Structure 1
Amino acid sequence: MSDDPGPSTAPIFSLTKPAENYCRLCQLIMTVCSDLFRDILSRHIQPVNLRVELNKYKNTLLRILRIHEHKILLFPQSGGQSLSAKDMDLTILYTLLRNICGIPKHQNGWGNTPKIGDLSLAACIERIREQKNAIASHSNIGEIDDIPFQDIWMKLQTDIVNIEKELIGGDMYERAVKVLFSCELTPKEARESAVDFNRLCARMNSIARKQFATKRKLIRTSSSKKARIDNLEKQHSAATIDIKARIGRLKKQHSSATMDIKDQLKETDEHLSYMMQGRFSENEQNIEELMSTMKEMFEGGLSSMKNEIKGGLSSMKNEIKERMSEVEEKIEERMSAVEEKIEGGLSSMKNEIGGGFSSINNEIKERMSAVEENIEGRMSSMEEKMEGRMSSMEVQIESMKSRCYPLDLTSTIEVSGMGYICHISVVSPDKLWVSDIETLKQVDSTGHVLMTLDDEYGYSNDDGGHTVSVEGDFVFIAEVSNSVQSTASDGLRSQYGIHKMTSDGSITTLLTPDLPNLSPRCIHSSHINGDLLIGLTDYSYPRTGRVMRCDGTGRKIRDIELDGEGQGLYGYPQYITENKMNGDIVVSDYRKNALVVVDRSGRHRFDYKGHSTDKSFSPRGVCTDVLGRILVSHTGYDDDSGDICCISLLDRDGRFLTRLLTQPWDDDGFNSLCVDDNNNIYVAFVNKIKVYK
């Protein structure tokens, strides 16, 4: 079976029960579990210290991380950028929790399935990661049957609750799991959850495939390199054997030549001895014959003759000795010459053989070096190309996220009987609620009035005093009928409450805040979990404010009032919204002349006080679009036009992107705005609403 990972292709979507199960699990992983991991990371490493801790463990993390995008996210090439846990997905959050947070490992160790009954923090984190992988294994079909769905859900819920009780306290995540389990999941929401999760799985699979292809190519390159090395080793071995054979043959030739020379010298010596002996014998015979003849012929001259003969014999002996010396010298010269020739031949052969070995070794080293340089060059080129493509993809993605298009006016909705429209809440493209200071109406896309709030509810609000829940219910701030409240400062005054109107027109009161000197001014219903976000301000001087978070039934969860240094966050919350992409709470503060942004748990993220070119900045209506970008309407001043009103577009971290709309402040100036799910922008003017695309 091939190890090559296949693509994760999502089937054609249909909201069957198994498909709904899969989508709920996808949403649970992408929202609750990811936010829980971010909370754990923030509690072990303060957000302001995150960059310091990452740099401290940089070498370890770069060795552990296998995905190039994760390395670039944690350690960008330019260095020093701010980084937040909200930018990280579940995979990289798990890596950081495991390696840099100092969380003790569970009994079976990180990366292994924990023991049953192990309720340690590490064991719960490990089980959530394993369940995420189990859900990802169903991404090809996009369905999970009821029995495995119930099993995975209960396991995830158990571990989420255990972590929340041990580390965080409260029951916010437990309630979020229960709400997600029981809420009605529309096909659109289900599709978005499945698409987000499948996109994450597809991205991981794509990266895995690229890494696998690179690894396989490296293996092929290494195999080719090994084959070439083996071939060179075989050539070297064959050359060595051939050289040894040649040396053996040369030794045999040398031994044979030496024996031949010795035999020739022996024959020459014997031949010379034979010749000398023959000449001595011949001379002696001649002398004897001559002496006998002379004795017979010359008896009288015998004495002189003997002397002459002796003299001749002595001369001959001397001549013979001289010739023998010359012969011996010539033989020695010939022997020396022969030995020099033999030694010179052997030395030349040895040098030739040694040079051959050295040449072969140098050639092998040169070829090996060339092969290694070629492989390293190709690897470096491949890495540069991959990094270039990944950087290009990241730039394109960021460009798509921050790209702004000019606003096109698509329609104008005339609303009769309305003064300066203060706030808009969209129910659907053909139905919306609008309000001025004392009137609250529901109109259609032509401006025809469908409904007016009953007189028994006293609506008096020039801020963001109403909202529409994810279920389509209308939630608004109004006086409680026939109710008054005693205060130390102003005696009796009307008491405001939070009310909900369902689609059939029935109204119920969710809560009546029992907070002396505090009055609710703006409200927003979360489209993430259905919670209510209520902005309140008091009547003291200087004014201070707070944000109260309640669940969908009106039960209070927490107050958001102070930052990390104990300073007040708000002065006068005028409009409030929630970023559906990351859960941030965005408040337009009238007294601070700023947008105040906190995360979903109430930790202060940033204040936005206008662009550097703004001479003044007074924010009014605020909302977010489907990409998580922030839209804010505000007034300001321009040297040419005087007072102006603008709509600015920011990214989710408060960085200015562009101006969407700017016009002089006159009788037709705008005040509030909102965005629907189709990214239509509704802008409130006097007696009318303009819809832009």
Structure 2
Amino acid sequence: MSDVPGSSSAPSFSLTKAAENYCRLCQLIVTVCSDLLRLILSRYIEPANLRQELDKNKGKLQNIIKNNEQRQLLYPAPAGSSVKAQDLDLTLLYTILRNVCNIPQPQCKWGKTPQNGDVSLVACIERIRIQRNLISGHRSIGKIEDPDFLNIWQELKDNIGEIEEQLFGGNMYRRRVDELFSCDLSKSEAQEYVEEFQCLRDSLDDVQSQASRYFGKKKAHLDKIEERQASLTMEIQGFNARKRARLDELEQHQTSVATNFIDELRETERHILQVLQGRYTGFENHTTDKLRETEEHILNQLKARMDGFEQQQTSMSTDFIARLEILQQQQTTLATNLTEQLDGLQRQQTTMTTILTDGLSKLEKRLEDKKSLFFPLVLTSTISVPDINDVCHISVVTPDKLWVSGSSRLQQVDGNGHVLGTPLDHSNHSGGHTVSVEGYLIFIAWSNRVERPENGGARDQSIFNINKMTSDGSITPLIQLALHDLIPRCIHSSHINGDLLIGFSHFYSYDHPGRVMRYKGTERNRAIIKDIELDEEGEIELDEEGKIELDEEGKIELDEEGKERQRLYKYPHYITENKINGDIVVSDQRKCALVVVDRSGRHRFDYTGQPTDKTFNPWGVCTDVLGRILVAHGEGKRGTIYHHISLLDQNGHFLTRLFEEQKDYFTCLCHCVDDKYTIYVGFKNKIKVVQLDN
């Protein structure tokens, strides 16, 4: 990429260079950034579940979004109407990602400025939001000078590329950024993107302001509850402390009174003894008796007074204990009332959850009931293919450039059936060709067949080339395949990372297992990076010549339970890749199934048709831009052969039948679909072009 973008060469474009910089940044935000956020949304919420997730979070989103037009986009009338990500602008996409998708926030939090070096998903999205704010700061003058423009552009490009690398792989969005950097802008296009960006800016600012007010009110309410709870706790602790201090004071007073009384008694006793000792000796006996009586009387009085004092002390202690128990009962009652109120709130929450769950279940049932309805199809044209009577495979370059193959011929035709360029000899009844992301044809070509001795005998070795044809008609070999007893049947060029996916079957016997290999690297140095053959219980190892290793008796390897490991493929004859999640989808004719593995080769599922299908014989297979799978297959019913095209979601769940025709009228072996939901269906010597009203 050069230092600054080239000026528009359109004659009608009269904006200054600074104004054109501003227009390019507006277009980058409105197109590439918005499309990227839609793809992130589909990664965290499947398109089929978007309506359900929005309804689940309806209360939160309506509190945040106050604009009626935006509310109607998310919750259109009647209730339960479908919502598509492509109908949502960047404002609503950011709001849903922030409040619904539960994206992890390891460092950067939503609405905050990310730290340098933080490449988490939330940090990258927030940097796009911050750069969008920097762009909007220039909207009063509508101009951005080159230094500021280049800084903002590079920041956006780096974060777009980081998101794409983390979630999807490839560089499709980086290429779109580079194309937009160097493309020409007309004055009308520039004004259109500036107006759309300004509307998007106002809408996002409104949503952020409403979200801040909403969460501010929530936080203030929680702080108020915490302050009230702390105040009650302090009051209870203060009351208990005052009661304990009062009891300690009463105990100290009781101890002091008893001590003083005993001292007075002792003093009285000493005084009486002194008086008695001074009496006349003659009256000693009489006095002694009297003293004894007096002493007994005094002791009895003292005892009575002590008993009364102890009873008074016991009564006072009982009274204080009773009052303390009353306070404890009041505290217990208060705690019980609070617990009952919390239990009531929990019951209300449980009731609301049950109501919402029942409503969602009914909605899901209604959606399931509608799955059996046909999607509306519109026949737009029919293309007659010359010199081919059995169309086996179709690869789309553009709507006016189609590569079509039969059992022995491969040629390019336009939308009227005219042959473009020179046809190629091509002996392949399956998906033997594909179109790369650059629009180049990649096809399987038979090279030669040789005999070579091995272990004292002769063994066949098949040699095939994988060739590339560019737009000028030149052919370049990419890979030479030399595998014993294996023949390549189908091929697909990944539009995610440029890898080649090739399906192989046994040359002589249908009973031997097939394989799928992934090739990666430069045109002159491509290498196998994955050999997919077994299910998730384990992969077999290959020897130096790429053959299956056998045990000492020449048998296939067994697992720990003594059972033969399950092979994934028997006869893969059509192959494609899901551009949404990277799954590899193979149509296996001998296994009578669609075999789907993830991008690493781990088996996900087999689709073997509907329970009502008598048989399931799959042929051509492809995926659309939403990740749905379209498969052509045959079925025998009461002596009549029917051909169908069925539509599945990316998890193998049946959605609907797109075609269902008898053999006498319709013999569908192959089909493909482009990014505009246009389906090209091959039968006999024609191609029907139909539009799927999605």
Per the TM alignment, residue 96 of structure 1 is displaced from its structure 2 partner at its CA by 6.2
Question: Is contact 1:440-1:452 (8 Å) kept?
Answer: no
Q: Select which of 499, 518, 522 maps to 2:490.
A: 522
Write out per-residue CA displacement over residues 109-147 of structure 1, whole angstroms, 9 at most, x where no aligned residue: 999999989xxxxxx7x6453233212333568899433
Matched with 1:496 is 464
Give the corresponding residue for 1:631: 630
1:662 to partner: Cα distance:
0.8
Q: Classify 1:626/1:181 alpha carbon distance in 2 versus 1 (closer, same or farther; 3 Å).
A: closer
Q: Which structure would you say has the larger RCO, counting Cα contacts within 8 Å and 6 or more residues apart?
A: 2
**Deviations 1:307-355 (Å, cap 9, x if unpaired)?**
xxxxxxxxxxxxxxxxxxxxxxxxxxxxxxxxxxxxxxxxxxxxxxxxx
Describe the shift of the 1:572–1:536 C-alpha distance in structure 2 as closer, same or farther (beyond 3 A). Answer: same
CA contact (8 A) 1:67 1:207 kept: no
Match of 1:677 among 675, 678, 682: 675
Q: Call closer, same or farther: CA 1:571–1:384 in 2, change over 3 Å.
A: closer
Could you tell me how far apart the structure 2 residues matched to 1:142 and 1:540 are? 65
AA in 1 matched with 2:533: E
SS, match of residue 126 in structure 2: helix
Alpha-carbon deviation of 1:664?
Answer: 1.5
| Residue ranges of structure 2 left out of the alignment (5+ in a row) | 1-19, 46-55, 63-95, 137-147, 184-188, 190-195, 229-337, 539-565
Q: State whether structure 2 residue 137 is matched by structure 1 residue 129.
A: no
AA of the residue aligned to 1:147? N
After superposition, the C-alpha distances for 1:22-45 in whole angstroms (9 at most, x for unaligned) are: 97777888879998x99xxxxxxx
Residues in 1 aligned to 2:660 and 2:132: alpha-carbon distance in whole angstroms: 46
Partner of 1:649: 647
Q: Does 1:579 align with 2:578?
A: yes
Instruction: Check whether the contact 1:425–1:433 (CA below 8 A) recurs between aligned residues.
Output: yes
Conserved? CA contact 1:32–1:176, under 8 Å: no
CA distance in 2, matches of 1:518, 1:417: 30
Contact 2:25 2:135 in 1 (8 A): no
C-alpha contact 2:500 2:519 (8 A) present in aligned 1: yes
Task: Give the distance between the partners of 1:32 and 1:550, measured in 2 at CA.
Answer: 28
Partner of 2:24: 16
**Ranges in structure 1 where 5+ consecutive residues have no aligned partner:** 1-11, 39-61, 69-87, 99-105, 118-123, 162-172, 228-367
Matched, 1:588 2:581: no
The aligned residue for residue 419 of structure 1 is 389
Contact in 1 for aligned 2:461/2:485 (Cα 8 Å): no
Structure 2 CA distance for aligned equivalents of residues 387 and 203 of structure 1: 32
> Where is the helix percentage greater, Structure 1 or Structure 2?
1
Report the CA distance between 1:625 and its aligned residue. Answer: 1.9
Contact 1:94-1:129 at 8 Å conserved across structures: no
- Contact 2:373–2:656 at 8 Å: present in 1 too? no
Match of 1:408, SS? strand
Cα distance per residue 1:152-208 (max 9 Å; x no partner):
7668989999xxxxxxxxxxx7994667646786669x99xxx9xx99x99999699
Match of 1:659 in 2: 657
Alpha-carbon separation, structure 1, partners of 2:583 and 2:465: 25
Q: 1:486 to 1:692 in 2, by over 3 A?
A: same
CA contact 1:485–1:494 (8 Å) conserved in 2 = yes
Partner of 2:419: 449
Over 3 Å counting, the alpha-carbon distance change for 1:390 and 1:440 in structure 2 is: same
Residues in 1 aligned to 2:451 and 2:23: alpha-carbon distance in whole angstroms: 54
SS of equivalent residue, structure 2 residue 534: coil
Secondary structure of the residue that 1:131 maps to in structure 2? helix
- Answer with 596-605 or 647-656: which moved more: 596-605
Kindly report which structure 2 residues correspond to 1:82-101, keeping only aligned pairs within 5 A, or say none: none
Aligned: 1:562 with 2:534 = yes
Decide whether aligned partners of structure 1 residues 568 and 221 sit closer, same or farther in structure 2, where only a CA change above 3 A counts: closer
Match in the other structure for 1:405: 375
Contact (CA 8 Å) 1:20, 1:185: kept in 2 or not? no
Change (3 A) 1:383 1:592: closer
CA drift of 1:428 comes to: 1.2
**Which residue of the partner structure matches residue 84 of structure 2?**
none
Q: 1:664 to 1:649 in 2, by over 3 A?
A: same
Aligned CA distance change for structure 1 residues 137 and 403 (closer, same or farther; 3 Å): farther
* Partner Cα separation in structure 2 for residue 659 and residue 13 of structure 1: 49
CA apart distance, 1:528: 2.3
Structure 2 match to 1:296: none
CA-to-partner distance for each residue in 1:507-556, whole Å, 9 max, x for gaps?
11111123332222111122223322221223364222222223474523
Report matched runs for 1:200-239 at 5 Å. Answer: 209=210, 213=214, 216=217
Residues 390 and 592 of structure 1: is their aligned pair in 2 closer, same or farther, counting only changes over 3 Å?
Answer: closer
Alignment pair present for 1:550 and 2:519: yes
Q: What are the Cα deviations for residues 579-607 of structure 1, in whole angstroms up to 9, with x where unaligned?
A: 22222111101121110111222221111
Q: Give the AA of the match of 1:129.
A: V
Alpha carbons 2:41, 2:97 under 8 Å: kept? no
Q: Aligned with 1:129: secondary structure?
A: helix
* TM-score normalised according to structure 2 size: 0.53
Shift of 1:408: 2.5
Partner of 1:138, secondary structure, is helix
**Quick one: structure 1 residues 675 and 114, their matched pair in 2 at CA, closer, same or farther if it must change by over 3 Å?**
closer
SS of the aligned residue for 2:483 comes to: coil
Q: Which residue of 2 aligns with 1:349?
A: none
- Residues 206, 593 of structure 1: alpha-carbon distance in 2 compared, 3 angstrom cutoff: farther
What amino acid does structure 1 have at the position aligned with 2:580? M
Following superposition, the deviation at residue 665 of structure 1 comes to 2.0
Whole-angstrom distance in 2 between the partners of 1:443 and 1:398: 41
Equivalent position of 1:431 in the other structure: 401
CA contact (8 A) 1:114 1:127 kept: no
The Cα shift of 1:420 comes to 1.1
Is the 1:407–1:661 Cα contact (8 Å) retained in structure 2? no
Matched-pair contact (CA < 8 Å) for 1:18–1:145: no
Give the CA RMSD over aligned residues.
5.8
Amino acid of the structure 2 residue aligned with 1:437: S
| CA–CA separation in structure 1 for the residues paired with 2:205 and 2:354 | 21
Contact 1:596/1:608 (8 A) holds in 2: yes
* Distance apart, 1:623 and its partner CA: 0.9
Tell me how far apart the structure 2 counterparts of residues 13 and 679 of structure 1 sit (CA, whole Å).
Answer: 34
Displacement of 1:218: 9.2
Q: What is the DSSP-based 3-state SS (H/G/I as helix, E as strand, rest coil) of the residue aligned with 1:666?
A: coil
| Paired position in structure 2 for 1:537 | 505
Return the alpha-carbon distance in structure 2 between the equivalents of residues 679 and 414 of structure 1.
Answer: 21
- Specify the SS of the correspondent of 2:124: helix
Cα distance in 2 for residues equivalent to 1:203 and 1:138: 13
Q: Aligned residue for 2:329? A: none
Q: How does 1:28-43 map to 2 (within 5 A)?
A: none
2:428: which partner in 1?
461
What is the match of residue 437 of structure 2? 470
Q: Within 2, Cα distance between the matches of 1:112 and 1:214? A: 15
Distance 1:203 1:618 in 2: 51
Q: How far apart, in 2, do the equivalents of 1:380 and 1:28 lie?
A: 38
Which letter maps to 2:632? S
1:363-392: CA deviation from partner (whole Å, max 9, x where unpaired): xxxxx9xx9999999999999999999999
Cα separation, 1, equivalents of 2:37 and 2:686:
43
On the 8 A contact 2:98/2:110 being kept in 1, the answer is: no
Letter matched to residue 606 of structure 1? F
Corresponding position of 1:253: none
Instruction: State the TM-score, normalized to the length of structure 1.
Output: 0.53
For 1:14 and 1:425, how far apart are their aligned partners in 2? 40
Percent same amino acid among aligned pairs? 41
Contact 1:576 1:586 in 2 (8 A): yes
**Contact 2:24–2:180 under 8 Å retained in 1:** no
CA shift for structure 1 position 610: 0.3
Name the SS for the 2:437 alignment partner: coil
Query: Is residue 604 from structure 1 mapped to residue 590 from structure 2 by the alignment?
Result: no
CA shift for structure 1 position 570:
1.4
Per-residue deviation at 1:645?
Answer: 0.9
Alignment of 1:158-237 (within 5 A): 176=169, 181=174, 209=210, 213=214, 216=217
